[in-house]
C-alpha cells in the first residue's frame, strides 16, 4: 500500500508545483507587466523597489493560486490513472478506492490547515508591507505614485488632481489642489499652470513647487472667507513622515490577523456598529484556506468518472469549477456584508455546496 500511496503522490506533486508556479507567475508578473514597465522605464523607479513590490504581492496571490493548483493536480493525476485503467486494476486487486485517495485527502487537509495560518499571518503581513513600500516609493520618486486625471489622496490634508505628468522633466501640468476645511466651510483651492516635486527623502518630506497660478487665502478679518492670490511661484510642504510610521498607517481589514479582527468586532459591537465586514473578513480567510480540501473532494470523483488523460479536458473541468465557485463566493460575500444572510454563514455557502456535492460523489465512488 505504501508503494501505491507514493506512486499516487508522485503523480500529484508534479502537476501541483508546475501549476502553482505558472499560475503565480502569470498572476503576479504577466498580469502586471505593463505596470512594471511603466514604473521602471517611464517613472524611473529602481528595479529593486519594483521587485520588492511584486514579491510582496505574491502571498496574496498564493491564497487563490494554491487551491486552483490542487484542483488541477487532482484532475490531471487521477484522470491519467483512470484513463489508463489503473483505477480498475487497483479495484480488481481488492483495494478499496478510499484507501487510494486517502493520501490525497490527507494532503488536502494539511494544506488547508497550513493555508489558514498562511492567510492569517503571511498574506496579511505582506499586504501591509506592500502598502508601506508604495509610500516609500512615493517619497523617493513622487511622480511614480501619481497618475494623470485621477484624484490623489496620498497626503493627509490635501487632495490633488493633475491633468498631465511629464516624467522626463519631472513636471506637472495643470495642477489643482483642494484642502477641505470641514463641514459647512468652503474648500480651499489652489490652481497652477505647472509644478514639480522636489523630494527630500532624508526628512521624509516632499516639496511641491507650483508656478503661475492662484491660491485661496483666508481673510484675516473673516477666516471662513477666502480671497484670490495670484502667484508666480508657490511652495508647499507635503510631509509624509507620519505616513511612513507603522503606528500611523492604519491596517485595512485584509491586513489584520484573525485575532486583530476579533478585537475590532468586539469594539464595534460595544459601540453599536454592525461589524459584518470584519466578520466576513475573518471567515473569508478560513473559507479560502479550506477551499483546498473542497476542490480535492470535487476533483477526485470527476477525474475518475470522466476518465480523460488529456490536459486540456482536465484544465477545462477545473476552469468550469472555478468560474462557478468564485463568482458564487463573491455573491455570498456581498449578501453577508449587506445583512441579507448572516456574514459568518454566507461566506461558507460555496464550500458547503461544493463540499457536500464532492463528498456525495466521492462516497458513491468508494461504495460502488
- Would 353 be classed as within a structural domain? yes
Radius of gyration of the chain (CA): 27
Question: How far is it, in rounded angstroms, from Cα 272 to Cα 237?
Answer: 40
Q: Which residues contact 319 (CB under 8 A, 6 or more apart)?
A: none
Domain that holds residue 202: 155-239
Cβ count within 10 A of residue 216:
20
Residues 329 and 269 in one domain: yes
Domain boundary residue among 183, 204, 239? Answer: 239
Please, where are the H alpha helices in 118-201?
Answer: 124-140
User: What does the pLDDT read at residue 100?
Assistant: 83
- Would 254 be classed as within a structural domain? no
- Would 252 be classed as within a structural domain? no
Residues 69 and 185 in one domain: no
SS3 assignment, position 295: helix
CA distances to 91, 257, 276, 278, 337 from 273, in Å:
58, 20, 9, 11, 13
User: What does the pLDDT read at residue 244?
Assistant: 47
Residues 24 and 135 in one domain: yes
User: What does the pLDDT read at residue 246?
Assistant: 40
Task: Using alpha carbons, select from 362, 204, 211 the residue that is nearest to residue 294.
Answer: 362
CA torsion 360→362→365→368, rounded to 10°? -50
What SS3 string covers 146-210?
A: CCCCCEECCCCCCEEEEEEEECCCCEEEEEEEEECCCCCCCCEEEEEEEEEEEEEHHHCEEEEEE
- Would 150 be classed as within a structural domain? no
- Would 145 be classed as within a structural domain? no
- Specify the number of domains making up the chain: 2
Render each residue's pLDDT in the chain as its tens digit; 368 residues. Answer: 677 778 888 889 999 999 999 999 988 877 777 777 766 665 567 788 788 888 898 999 999 999 999 999 999 988 888 887 888 788 888 888 888 888 899 999 999 999 999 999 999 999 888 877 876 766 555 555 566 676 676 666 778 888 887 766 667 888 888 888 776 677 888 999 998 877 665 565 677 889 999 988 777 677 667 778 899 998 887 765 444 444 456 777 888 999 999 999 998 888 887 888 889 999 999 999 999 999 999 999 998 887 666 677 888 899 999 999 999 999 999 898 888 889 899 999 999 999 999 999 999 888 87
Residues 164 and 135 in one domain: no
Residues 209 and 98 in one domain: no
Residues 335 and 362 in one domain: yes
Residues 135 and 112 in one domain: yes
The answer to whether the predicted template modeling score (pTM) of the entire model surpasses 0.75 is: no
Residues 276 and 132 in one domain: yes
- Would 184 be classed as within a structural domain? yes
User: What does the pLDDT read at residue 207?
Assistant: 79
SS3 assignment, position 249: coil
Q: What is the DSSP string of 80-104?
A: HHHHTTHHHHHHHTT--HHHHHHHH
User: What does the pLDDT read at residue 300?
Assistant: 92
Residues 134 and 162 in one domain: no
Residues 167 and 130 in one domain: no
Amino acid at each position: 500500500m505504501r508503494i501505491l500511496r507514493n506512486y499516487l503522490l508522485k503523480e500529484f506533486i508534479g502537476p501541483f508545483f508546475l501549476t502553482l508556479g505558472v499560475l503565480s507567475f502569470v498572476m503576479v508578473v504577466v498580469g502586471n507587466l505593463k505596470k512594471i514597465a511603466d514604473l521602471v522605464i517611464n517613472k524611473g523607479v529602481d528595479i529593486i523597489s519594483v521587485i520588492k513590490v511584486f514579491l510582496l504581492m505574491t502571498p496574496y496571490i498564493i491564497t487563490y493560486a494554491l487551491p486552483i493548483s490542487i484542483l488541477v493536480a487532482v484532475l490531471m493525476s487521477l484522470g491519467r490513472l483512470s484513463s489508463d485503467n489503473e483505477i480498475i486494476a487497483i479495484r480488481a486487486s481488492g483495494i478499496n478506492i478510499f484507501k487510494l485517495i486517502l493520501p490525497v485527502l490527507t494532503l488536502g487537509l494539511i494544506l488547508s490547515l497550513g493555508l489558514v495560518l498562511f492567510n492569517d499571518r503571511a498574506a496579511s503581513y505582506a499586504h501591509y508591507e506592500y502598502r508601506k513600500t508604495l509610500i516609500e516609493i512615493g517619497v523617493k520618486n513622487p511622480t511614480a505614485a501619481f497618475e494623470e486625471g485621477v484624484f490623489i489622496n496620498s497626503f493627509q490634508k490635501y487632495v490633488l488632481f493633475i491633468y498631465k505628468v511629464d516624467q522626463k522633466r519631472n513636471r506637472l501640468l495643470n495642477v489643482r489642489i483642494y484642502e477641505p476645511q470641514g463641514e459647512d466651510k468652503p474648500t480651499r483651492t489652489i490652481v497652477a499652470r505647472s509644478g514639480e516635486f522636489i523630494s527630500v527623502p532624508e526628512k521624509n518630506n516632499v516639496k511641491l513647487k507650483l508656478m503661475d497660478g492662484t491660491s485661496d487665502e483666508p481673510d484675516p478679518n473673516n477666516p471662513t472667507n477666502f480671497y484670490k492670490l495670484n502667484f508666480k511661484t508657490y511652495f508647499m510642504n507635503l510631509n509624509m513622515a507620519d505616513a511612513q510610521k507603522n503606528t500611523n498607517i492604519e491596517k485595512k481589514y485584509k491586513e489584520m490577523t484573525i485575532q486583530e479582527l476579533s478585537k475590532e468586532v468586539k469594539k464595534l459591537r460595544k459601540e453599536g456598529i454592525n461589524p459584518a465586514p470584519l466578520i466576513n473578513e475573518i471567515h473569508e480567510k478560513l473559507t479560502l484556506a479550506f477551499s483546498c480540501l473542497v476542490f480535492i473532494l470535487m476533483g477526485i470523483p470527476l477525474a475518475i468518472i470522466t476518465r480523460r488523460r488529456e490536459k486540456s479536458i482536465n484544465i477545462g473541468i477545473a476552469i468550469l469549477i472555478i468560474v462557478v465557485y468564485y463568482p458564487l463566493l463573491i455573491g455570498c460575500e456581498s449578501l453577508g456584508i449587506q445583512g441579507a444572510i448572516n456574514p459568518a454563514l454566507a461566506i461558507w455557502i460555496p464550500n458547503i455546496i461544493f463540499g457536500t456535492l464532492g463528498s456525495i460523489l466521492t462516497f458513491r465512488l468508494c461504495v460502488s
